[in-house]
Amino acid sequence: MRPLKFLLMKEFRQLFRDKGFIGRLLIAPALQLVLLPLAANYTIKNVNIAIVDHDHSSISKKMVDKIMSSGYFRLAGYSDFNSKANKLIENDKADIVLEIPVNFEKDLIREGGRKIAIEVNAINGVKASVGFGYLSGILTDYNADIRMQWVEPSRTNSLPVIDVIPSFWYNPALTYYIYMVPAILVSLVTTIAGLSAAFNIVKEKEIGTIEQINVTPIKKYQFILGKLIPFLVMGFIVFTVGLLIAWVVYGIIPVGHIALLCLFLEVFLIAILGFGLLISTYCDSQQQANSLMFLFMMVFNMMSGLYTPIDSMPGWAQFITHLFPISYFIDVMRMIVIKGSGLHDILHQIGAVLIIGIVLNTWAALNYRKTT
């Protein structure tokens, strides 16, 4: 085991002498954790609405007031002409058009109902559907108000009405960053630890020092441990810094046990570092390693459940997702941080990542050859 001591001494000396190291370790995670959650914000605001009011009645005015006071919409135009509103959609100035027909108020009172038209610009699908959702919610609400006002109470009571009262568990206010920040932290640790490990070994290949190592009697497992341990420590530091930022900036304190998070982190890091090692055994230059890692990290991140729920992917895609360690960690992070899950709840994930880690590291060790 003595050679391992010297390998580790060498690695740590080199790491701390590297001027970019502290930056990668502290500044990059800080920046990303502050900036990325802002970009990954699913709360849609500022939906541009154009209103075509053919009625100009008190009801239509009140309805418009109600819509505008909700805070989700920005008035892009208000006119009597459909053509003007359509132009606004064509020019991308409006996301949604609400058309109030002629004699809206009169028909509503006299005939007890009137259709209203909503047109949606669906180029940005998320904004379109969320905007439509808001608008129809507001209109339904307004509809209820009118009924209360205009229709006799006795008749209202006789109509059966299903009233839904939702309550959201674990994240009552549906705050998006409570959901996103832990997941972004996972993606960060993965990228930093995985890339550093891969680049480190490939760099030794590039400058030729690996040949000098290969001609020594050092054991393969010693060399691999010598490379794994420093990045295990590094991943741990990045993660800790990330948790601190989540606490200071977003006030997120894990509901579950921090020790449990750390346990999972270690298992996860072994898997992801194994992946880095594996990539490095196939690459001869940092350029090559870079393009390969970029490709994999991109797929990992997109399919990890970070941005979109894994459950809504097709079956085969879900299968692929479960071959990546990231999806498990994001899952576990959200479970422990938001819900406070215990060891028993994440045993399945620990087992899966452990197996992935063993496979990747064994593969890397077999593929790393001191003698060709």
Q: What's the distance, CA 190 to chain centroid?
A: 14
Summarize the chain as % helix, strand, coil (round to 5): 70, 5, 25
Query: CB of residue 204 vs another protein: minimum separation in angstroms?
Result: 9
Q: Could you say whether residue 13 binds another protein (CB under 8 A)?
A: yes
CA distances from 6 to 2, 3, 76, 196 (A): 7, 5, 68, 20
Give the Cα separation of 367 and 6 in Å (integer). Answer: 24
Q: Which stretch binds another protein (CB under 8 A): 14-22, 159-167, 176-184, 328-336?
A: 14-22
Q: Which is nearer to another protein, 7 or 52 (CB)?
A: 7
Give the Cα separation of 104 and 111 in Å (integer). Answer: 10
Residue located via tokens 């005939």: 111
Q: What number of other Cβ atoms are within 10 A of residue 73's Cβ?
A: 23
Considering only residues 153 to 212 of the shown chain, the ones binding another protein according to CB under 8 A are: 207-209, 211-212
User: Which helix (DSSP H) or strand (DSSP E) does residue 53 occupy?
Assistant: strand 47-53
Query: CB of residue 226 vs another protein: minimum separation in angstroms?
Result: 9
Q: What are phi and psi of 174, to 5 degrees?
A: 55, 40
Q: Which is nearer to another protein, 17 or 115 (CB)?
A: 17
Q: Which stretch binds another protein (CB under 8 A): 1-9, 114-122, 125-133, 273-281?
A: 1-9
Query: CB of residue 125 vs another protein: minimum separation in angstroms?
Result: 50
What track of x and - describes contact with another protein for positions 211 through 230 (by CB under 8 A)?
xxxxxxxx------------
CA count, 13 A, side-chain hemisphere, 103: 6
Can you tell me which of 149, 158, 167, 371 binds another protein, judged by CB under 8 A? 371
Q: Which is nearer to another protein, 16 or 319 (CB)?
A: 16
Residues in the interface with another protein (CB under 8 A) total 25
CA distances from 137 to 53, 66, 67, 141, 156 (A): 19, 11, 10, 6, 20
Closest CA to 280 of 219, 214, 361, 188: 361
Query: CB of residue 290 vs another protein: minimum separation in angstroms?
Result: 20
Query: CB of residue 369 vs another protein: minimum separation in angstroms?
Result: 10
Q: Which is nearer to another protein, 13 or 106 (CB)?
A: 13
Collapsing DSSP states into helix, strand and coil, what is residue 74? Answer: strand
Can you tell me which of 3, 77, 101, 340 binds another protein, judged by CB under 8 A? 3
Considering only residues 282 to 321 of the shown chain, the ones binding another protein according to CB under 8 A are: none
CA distances from 85 to 58, 92, 171 (A): 21, 11, 39
Query: CB of residue 228 vs another protein: minimum separation in angstroms?
Result: 17
Q: Which is nearer to another protein, 107 or 206 (CB)?
A: 206
Strand partners, 53: 100
Contact between residue 80 and residue 51 where contact means Cβ atoms under 8 Å apart: no
Query: CB of residue 21 vs another protein: minimum separation in angstroms?
Result: 11
What track of x and - describes contact with another protein for positions 337 through 356 (by CB under 8 A)?
--------------------
Q: Which is nearer to another protein, 222 or 321 (CB)?
A: 222
Contact between residue 192 and residue 238 where contact means Cβ atoms under 8 Å apart: yes
Closest CA to 29 of 199, 244, 201, 251: 244
Query: CB of residue 192 vs another protein: minimum separation in angstroms?
Result: 20
Q: Which stretch binds another protein (CB under 8 A): 12-20, 72-80, 120-128, 145-153?
A: 12-20
Q: Could you say whether residue 129 binds another protein (CB under 8 A)?
A: no
CA count, 13 A, side-chain hemisphere, 331: 21
Query: CB of residue 225 vs another protein: minimum separation in angstroms?
Result: 13
Q: Could you say whether residue 20 binds another protein (CB under 8 A)?
A: no
Strand partners, 79: 52
Interface residues toward another protein, by CB under 8 A: 2-3, 5-7, 9-10, 13-14, 17-18, 207-209, 211-218, 370-372
